[in-house]
Amino acid sequence: MDRIRIVGGSKLNGTIPISGAKNAALPLMIAGLLSEETLILDNVPRLADVAQLQRILGNHGVDIMSAGKRPGDHEYQGQTLHISAKNIIDTTAPYELVSKMRASFWVIAPLLARMQEAKVSLPGGCAIGTRPVDLLIMALEKLGAELTIDGGYVIAKAPGGLKGAEIDFPKVTVSGTHVALMAATLAKGTTIINNAACEPEIVDVADCLNKMGARVTGAGTPRIVIEGVAKLHGARHTVLPDRIETGTYAMAVAMTGGDVQLSGARPELLQSALDVLTQAGATITVNNDGIRVSRNGAGLSPVNVSTAPFPGFPTDLQAQLMALMSCAKGSSHITETIFENRFMHVQELARFGARIHLDGETATIDGIAKLRGAPVMATDLRASVSLVIAGLAAEGETMVNRIYHLDRGFERLEEKLSACGATIERISG
């Protein structure tokens, strides 16, 4: 199994190109199921999750062609996918495929909308425990689908087609909003989604759906209105830049010190995180090419932050901020309000010497002068990269084990960081 070896202590200086957003690319690829015609997606990141979703869509009969590089393309430029769902030959998404990636459950929405049926395995782990899908099921039922759960599968049928409805989400859910939005595009009549997620990836998907002929308004606000249409057609769309990758590298620079241009980044996608970084002592400037982050000399100041749905501080940057605050001058408090137990990184950060105390949803981090490198284990996607950031700033050698989580969500991580002066390498086998 691959590992990443880091020798910490170098400042980061240079340019890091920001990839297309994983959390937009996945639902955009799934939206390709809604049309018989080809959906072309540009700037799709080369990630394990994207490859896995290609396999899942292929199982439904979708042809996906990945276009190679063109003269003049930047070496980091994402791939272009041609997604053609002319013939859907199978409406079942089996356990073996869905259990590997939670977002693949979302295929239930376009399959149901276009084929009036779907059989999709419940996503991995315990069925309706933490990270449940009850609100996704509620939304589809509101749209007139009949759903049963049998043998670990959700079996969904809408014999006369889906019908527009008013959907009130009791809590903000990104997955629920994606599913309701995609399903409603082909429903008869008008759908209103109240308390919708406002995340930029929802807006990106809505923009693409509109290019495909859907009639969606209000994406990016808590009230989305969708006028159903009979068919969607082909379109071409560019995936927006990854705000979590942007925030992650910004925190890495804040932690090691140095000066890095995050090329292609869009500040409005992560303003809350940039504000926190400024408060912590980083200098953030916005320019034509993206965002520049630097920190020279002065130490890090502690911060108090709660995660929240967009435009609040993203839960997907919580672990990285905790790594950063482990070297602040004083005590910080970080409260996780989106996912209970999203603190797997705490015990691994402790191996670097970080002083973190957990009390329910809140972590108190007592900053220390210097972390020390250590062997650590990557636990989940965002937690893994917090260990990389800690390793970059720590004295001595860090070995991050089980890095397949990183490959799910961070494109060419070690290449991008070593180009900025980090000592970081992948050890295969």
Q: Looking at the annotation, which residues are catalytic?
A: 126
- Smallest separation, CB 214 to ligand UD1 (Å): 19
Residue 246 interacting with ligand UD1 (CB under 6 A): no
Q: Give the residue among 15, 8, 3, 4 at the shortest CA–CA distance from 419.
A: 15
Distance, C-alpha 52 to centroid of its chain: 15
- Would you put residue 297 in left (φ > 0), alpha (ψ -120 to 50) or beta? left
Is 164 strand, coil or helix?
coil
Determine which residue in the list 20, 144, 164, 176 makes contact with ligand UD1, applying CB under 6 A: 176
Give the interface segment with ligand UD1, choosing from 4-12, 127-135, 279-287, 363-371 (CB under 6 A): 127-135
- Smallest separation, CB 176 to ligand UD1 (Å): 5
Distance, C-alpha 297 to centroid of its chain: 33
Nearer to ligand UD1, 50 or 371 (CB): 50
Residue 134 interacting with ligand UD1 (CB under 6 A): yes
Residue 316 interacting with ligand UD1 (CB under 6 A): yes
Assess contact for 169 and 198: CB atoms under 8 A.
Answer: no
CA-based angle 274:276:278, to the nearest 5? Answer: 70
Give the interface segment with ligand UD1, choosing from 54-62, 172-180, 318-326, 369-377 (CB under 6 A): 172-180
- Smallest separation, CB 23 to ligand UD1 (Å): 4
DSSP state of 18: P
Assess contact for 399 and 333: CB atoms under 8 A.
Answer: no
Residue 10 interacting with ligand UD1 (CB under 6 A): no
Determine which residue in the list 50, 113, 154, 174 makes contact with ligand UD1, applying CB under 6 A: 174
Is 376 strand, coil or helix?
strand
Instruction: Write the interaction track for ligand UD1 spanning residues 338-377; mark x where CB under 6 A is met and - where it is not.
Output: xx--------------------------------------
CA-based angle 421:425:426, to the nearest 5? Answer: 150
Nearer to ligand UD1, 134 or 289 (CB): 134
2 sits in which H/E element:
none
Instruction: Write the interaction track for ligand UD1 spanning residues 183-222; mark x where CB under 6 A is met and - where it is not.
Output: ----------------------------------------
CA dihedral angle for residue 427, residue 77, residue 253, residue 386, rounded to 10 degrees: -50
Angle between helical axes of 22-31 and 108-115 (0-180°, round to 10): 20
DSSP state of 195: S
- Smallest separation, CB 251 to ligand UD1 (Å): 16
> Encoding tokens for residue 45?
């990141």
Is 78 strand, coil or helix?
coil
Task: End-to-end CA distance of the chain: give it in Å, rounded.
Answer: 5
- Smallest separation, CB 397 to ligand UD1 (Å): 30
Nearer to ligand UD1, 275 or 361 (CB): 361
- Smallest separation, CB 409 to ligand UD1 (Å): 8
- Smallest separation, CB 167 to ligand UD1 (Å): 12
Determine which residue in the list 64, 133, 167, 392 makes contact with ligand UD1, applying CB under 6 A: 133
Determine which residue in the list 39, 103, 187, 349 makes contact with ligand UD1, applying CB under 6 A: 103
Nearer to ligand UD1, 245 or 316 (CB): 316
Nearer to ligand UD1, 383 or 393 (CB): 383
Determine which residue in the list 74, 86, 171, 357 makes contact with ligand UD1, applying CB under 6 A: 171
Tell me the sheet residues that pair with 6. 398, 424
Give the interface segment with ligand UD1, choosing from 147-155, 171-179, 385-393, 418-426 (CB under 6 A): 171-179
Determine which residue in the list 12, 18, 26, 34 makes contact with ligand UD1, applying CB under 6 A: 26
Q: What is the DSSP string of 358-371?
A: EETTEEEEE--S--
Determine which residue in the list 10, 52, 173, 248 makes contact with ligand UD1, applying CB under 6 A: 173
- Smallest separation, CB 98 to ligand UD1 (Å): 13
Give the interface segment with ligand UD1, choosing from 173-181, 209-217, 319-327, 364-372 (CB under 6 A): 173-181
Quick count: other Cβ atoms within 10 Å of Cβ 326?
27
Exposure pattern of 387-403 as b/e (b: 16+ CB <10 Å)?
bbbbbbbbeeebbbeeb
Q: How many residues bind ligand UD1 (CB under 6 A)?
A: 18
Q: Is residue 129 classed exposed, middle or buried when 0-12, 13-18 and 19+ CB atoms within 10 A define those classes?
A: exposed
DSSP state of 156: E
Which residues sit at the interface with ligand UD1, rule CB under 6 A? 23, 26, 103, 131-136, 171, 173-176, 315-316, 338-339
